Structure 1
Amino acid sequence: MTAPTAPAAPTAPTAPADPYTLALRTGRGPLFLRRADGWLLPLDVERWCAGTDAADESVLARCRGAVLDIGCGPGRLVAALAGRRHRALGIDVAPAAVARTVGRGATALCRSVFEPLPGERRWDTALLIDGNIGIGGDPAALLERTARLLAPCGRLLAEADPVEVDERCVVRLDDGRGALGAPFPWARVGRRALLRHAQAAGWRALRSWTASGRHFAELVPATPPHRAAIARPRTAAGAAP
């Protein structure tokens, strides 16, 4: 007769993973942004988790030097840039996104764009792709922050919403099966609104283009660095302060 075994200690229930983490683990949706009024925006998880497509390639071809991918998601662009021998860093607030990016052989940090970042004012190219102009719910603040991350002659490659819209809202991630993430601020910005916000934040559009139904703009500082230096106020003795 064997001795009776003690009952197993109860284990604390684990919190369910958020819808974004689950989607990245499987590499597929459904996944939506849900507004408070119930409106849903489908998110293209399968495309994010796949390799680069023709529209992505049109962005990658315009990248120069060291590249910062803001809101890198599962890392397809950072991985492609690393494969082309760019110094590239992805940042994302979702640990699952960073883990997937690193798993693709790329470099990524779990960090918000509004936190201190490596290489500030030394990045040659910044990316705001896949709707990431909406990060933080304030496109003007995001564009101003991005300008402070770039080198004086840096460029920003940004993707606009496919429809003409300019809205700020609070959204939650929704898997379409009842699971909801925590609420967070977001913005949706169409092509005209993107250019308008960029101009107000001190950028000018070098070019814009459409590829595979997606809309992009290449932005550079409105005032070239050498002109800004000439315009700097001078002291009474004539020397720059």
Structure 2
Amino acid sequence: MTDAAFTQVFARALQGHPCHVVEVDGYGEPRSLPVADWARAADEADHLLLDRCEGATLDIGCGPGRLSARLAELGHVVLGIDVVPEAVAQAIGRGATALRRNVFESLPGEGRWRTALLADGNIGIGGDPAALLGRARELLDPRGRVVAEVAPPGLGLRTTWAVLTCGDERSRPFRWSVVGADAVPGLAAGVGLRQTGLHRAGDRWCVVLEEAP
């Protein structure tokens, strides 16, 4: 199997090739990457997140843009960012405004966004949820909020090394975290945020975080 950049393997997945996530530490079985869920049109279940986005919204890790596009349809100013060029191209192709950017790089509108959206478990990006939430706080207007999809309560916080496999290619290892709803208040408090909402729709959960008083 050939080693490749994460962006290259993820691009193949977005193009329709079967792809799996494999945890390097051997915890659990390889899991199919749910690309079809990300590439479909936004549905009623997505309104668990969409209905809590206020004003200008930064969609962090926007993927192929289903939520960015729907927010634009709803009248929001919205910018999607992603490190994978194929994801950005697909987001733009469905009518969203998107840029190839790392969330920790300089971004348009820093300090003026009303909502930072972390959908589809993207609170785990980089394997350091506290650092990501702290960065999101920097990007927000003081009246802003983070809307983040999380795992169900009881799972706590778990961080692992993982790789993506797609055909004969394997990505270089990357860090990823799974954050249960029960772990969010402590993470938020550590970066000056507070949880103001916990919401559920079926098997999906999301939290709303705002500036701590």
Q: Calculate the TM-score normalised by the size of structure 1.
A: 0.80
Instruction: Pick from 47, 50, 53 the counterpart of residue 57 of structure 1.
Output: 47
Alpha-carbon distance in structure 1 between the residues aligned to 2:35 and 2:185: 27
- 1:150 is aligned to 140
- Once the two structures are overlaid, the 10-residue window that deviates more, 162-171 or 147-156, is 162-171
Is it true that 1:173 corresponds to 2:164 in the alignment? yes
Alignment map for 1:35-54 (pairs within 5 Å): 35-38=23-26, 39=28, 40-54=30-44
1:81-129 CA-to-partner distances (Å, cap 9, x unmatched) read 1111211000000001000000001111110000000000000011011
Is it true that 1:106 corresponds to 2:96 in the alignment? yes
- 2:18 is aligned to 30
**3-state DSSP of counterpart to 1:173:** strand
**3-state DSSP of counterpart to 1:167:** strand
1:50 maps to a residue whose letter is: R
How far 1:30 sits from its partner (Å)? Answer: 3.5
The alignment covers a number of residue pairs equal to 206
Alignment map for 1:1-241 (pairs within 5 Å): 18-26=8-16, 30-38=18-26, 39=28, 40-162=30-152, 164-175=155-166, 177-223=167-213
How far 1:141 sits from its partner (Å)? Answer: 0.6
How far 1:43 sits from its partner (Å)? Answer: 2.6
How far 1:155 sits from its partner (Å)? Answer: 0.6
**3-state DSSP of counterpart to 1:120:** coil
Closer, same or farther: CA 178–127 of 1 in aligned 2, 3 Å = same
2:35 maps to a residue whose letter is: V
Closer, same or farther: CA 42–166 of 1 in aligned 2, 3 Å = farther
Say whether the 8 Å CA contact 1:70–1:92 is kept in structure 2: yes
Say whether the 8 Å CA contact 1:71–1:92 is kept in structure 2: yes
Larger radius of gyration: 1
**3-state DSSP of counterpart to 1:64:** coil
Unaligned runs of 5+ in 1: 1-14, 224-241
Alpha-carbon distance in structure 1 between the residues aligned to 2:52 and 2:45: 12
**3-state DSSP of counterpart to 1:205:** strand
**3-state DSSP of counterpart to 1:180:** strand
**3-state DSSP of counterpart to 2:79:** strand
Alpha-carbon distance in structure 2 between the residues aligned to 1:166 and 1:33: 18
Say whether the 8 Å CA contact 1:54–1:212 is kept in structure 2: no
Alpha-carbon distance in structure 2 between the residues aligned to 1:89 and 1:134: 20
- Once the two structures are overlaid, the 10-residue window that deviates more, 96-105 or 204-213, is 204-213
Say whether the 8 Å CA contact 1:204–1:220 is kept in structure 2: yes
Cα RMSD (Å): 1.8
Q: Calculate the TM-score normalised by the size of structure 2.
A: 0.90
Unaligned runs of 5+ in 2: none
Alpha-carbon distance in structure 2 between the residues aligned to 1:71 and 1:156: 14
Higher relative contact order (Cα pairs below 8 Å, separated by 6+ residues): 2
1:54-92 CA-to-partner distances (Å, cap 9, x unmatched) read 221121111111000000011000000111121100000
% identity of equivalent residues: 48
How far 1:158 sits from its partner (Å)? Answer: 0.4
